[in-house]
Structure 1
Amino acid sequence: METLVLSPLFWLLAIAGVTLTGISKSGFAGGAGVVAVPLLALVMPVPLAVFLMLPLLLAMDIKTVQYYWRHADWVQLKSIVPAAVAGITVGGLLLGRLPEDWLKLLLGILSIVFALWQRLAPLLGAMKGAAWLWGGISGLTSTLIHAGGPPINIYLIARQLPKLDWLATAGIFFGIMNAVKVIPYLLTGDWTRDLFLMSLLLLPVALAGVWLGRQIQGRISERQFALCCRALLLASGILLLAQVFWP
């Protein structure tokens, strides 16, 4: 940990990853939130990167919900939150046991296919059990590598929610998920005080990123917003596959 604290590269990657995640949270419904862990994994073990990010994600979620909660689609939340909790439960049991590359490969392929194939949205929207499928996958991948954004955005894109409804619904969804994830993370015994203190040092960066995201989303149209989310989904998928094939 002392080596990390003294490493300029660590702080550069951490600030970049946390800022992008904050912008993504309040500006693009978490579509690029997957970038932080892969960036941090360049200089620290993935499990440590996951533990480092959780307090920051919780802080970002709280701020995002403060911005948009009045626009939340509670009908959608009632469908996807129970599925996410189930996914978190499975993910908690698999923490440290499931090869990360398998998860990254599947998630990366799904993200890229959906981002490039617009006709897939109506099909996913009409799927039976789509809320349980994507909500559950989001809970699972979020618990293991903080990559819950692409799966739930696949579902929300298919539902064609208005921009503010989308941001509010995603913000509350991620906030509930990350709060629930505290339980399995604590049970591992690997979440140390030093990691938590490092998270606190990065808290101003996280809040600045959320503020920037809100400023950006207020300056783009609904159509531009949807295109940005697809672009972020594509970028997330490429980044996940890059982590698998060029570690």
Structure 2
Amino acid sequence: MVAAEIWLYLAAASVALFAGVVKGAVGFAMPMIMISGLASFMPAEQALVALILPTLLTNAVQALRQGAGEAWASVRDYKRMIATLVIFVLLTAQAVPLIPQAVLLGALGVPIVAFALTQLAGRQIRFDAKNRGLVEVLTGVVGGVYGGVSGVWGPPIIALLVSLEAEKRESVRVQGVVYSIGSVALLAGHLGSGVITMDRLGLSVWLLPPALAGLWFGFAIQDRLDARRFRRWTLVVLAITGLNLIRRALSV
């Protein structure tokens, strides 16, 4: 392995470790951190494949922390959103090879920066949840379209859970369940899109140990840190990395 490849693997492992810590501590943001961090020094398609297995495994751990019964109950409760999200992930994943690199980098960077800055400004996105069925379907469409292209589907789902005033434990569990199923759909979609290669999948496997180590470390420190301050600094990092993606999009 040449020096450049060693550097890439170590840098990618550092991103996965940090993303795992954040996910364990606050329950979300792993795909956003990984896609923005990894795409800062590797092609966007490679970054997208690299995040698939770490997010799939860590989300499964998060989903099952309260037991399989609770996880299955979340599947039943949010079945409309999950079904819609899966369909649109499978559909939009096929478009990734057709999207120019500059457009893909910009499509990744702009929403990440927008999400981070609105959160830092204290503005929580909410939906009108009076017609829950319709809102779930719309959430699945938005999350699925963006998830198939970038692996990031968190913001609309978080907005839905906030709008429904989901209890904290339920919110974390539902996110784990939805993201796990979405990750399986993302893997299946890109097996058909041609984006996944053995080298890229090998990098994704390489990132599993640091992602899991970070997740468990995040669980351990969850109750010991000032969660608000930690989340704020996470959003700052997201905003910076998202701006770097936009910079790269403009320079391609």
Same fold (TM > 0.5): yes
Q: Where do 1:21-60 residues align within 5 Å?
A: 21-60=19-58
- Give the Å deviation of 1:183: 1.6
Aligned partner (choices 120, 124, 127) of residue 124 of structure 1: 127
4+ runs deviating over 6 angstroms: none
Matched with 1:137 is 142
- Work out the CA distance in 1 between the residues paired with 2:24 and 2:240: 22
Q: TM-score with structure 2 length normalisation?
A: 0.78
Q: TM-score with structure 1 length normalisation?
A: 0.80
- Give the Å deviation of 1:117: 5.7
Matched with 2:108 is 104
- Work out the CA distance in 1 between the residues paired with 2:114 and 2:130: 16
What do the CA deviations read for 1:179-225 (whole angstroms, capped 9, x no partner)? 112221111234222332333232211210111121232346xxx65
Matched with 1:201 is 206
What do the CA deviations read for 1:87-146 (whole angstroms, capped 9, x no partner)? 21331232223432453355236414641565654x524475332333322222222122
Matched with 2:95 is 94
- Work out the CA distance in 2 between the residues paired with 1:238 and 1:138: 23
Cα RMSD of the aligned pairs, angstroms, is 3.0
The answer as to whether partners of 2:31 and 2:51 remain within 8 angstroms in 1 is no
Report the identity percentage.
20
Give aligned pairs, total: 241
Alignment gaps of 5+ in structure 1? none
The answer as to whether partners of 2:16 and 2:214 remain within 8 angstroms in 1 is yes
Alignment gaps of 5+ in structure 2? none
The answer as to whether partners of 2:20 and 2:30 remain within 8 angstroms in 1 is no
- Work out the CA distance in 2 between the residues paired with 1:82 and 1:161: 20
- Work out the CA distance in 1 between the residues paired with 2:175 and 2:59: 9
1:186 aligns with 2:204: no
